[in-house]
Amino acid sequence: KYKGEEKEVDISKVKKVWKVGKMVSFTYDDNGKTGRGAVSEKDAPKELVEKLGK
């Protein structure tokens, strides 16, 4: 969980993905606002990991 909130983020809305230690952080388009999220590397979906470093 990230800040006590867990929600599904549509992978097509993910803008930027980067690693912080063992966490994968990302920003996404939240209806025009920029949302932020983070997930541990081992729990990160494959699609998110594939966006790393792009």
Q: pLDDT tens-digit profile of 3-39?
A: 445 567 888 999 999 999 999 999 999 999 999 999 9
Question: E strand or H helix at 23, and its extent?
Answer: strand 23-30
Predicted local confidence at residue 1, as pLDDT: 39
Predicted local confidence at residue 54, as pLDDT: 60
Q: How many CB atoms lie within 10 A of CB 32?
A: 5
Predicted local confidence at residue 34, as pLDDT: 94
User: What 3-state class would DSSP assign to 9?
Assistant: coil
Predicted local confidence at residue 8, as pLDDT: 74
Which numeric CATH code is attached to 11-50?
2.40.50.40
Predicted local confidence at residue 10, as pLDDT: 86
Euclidean distance between CA atoms 14 and 27, whole angstroms:
6
**Pair of tokens at residue 39:** 């997930």
Q: How many CB atoms lie within 10 A of CB 44?
A: 19
pLDDT confidence band for 50 (50 / 70 / 90): very high
**Pair of tokens at residue 12:** 């097509």
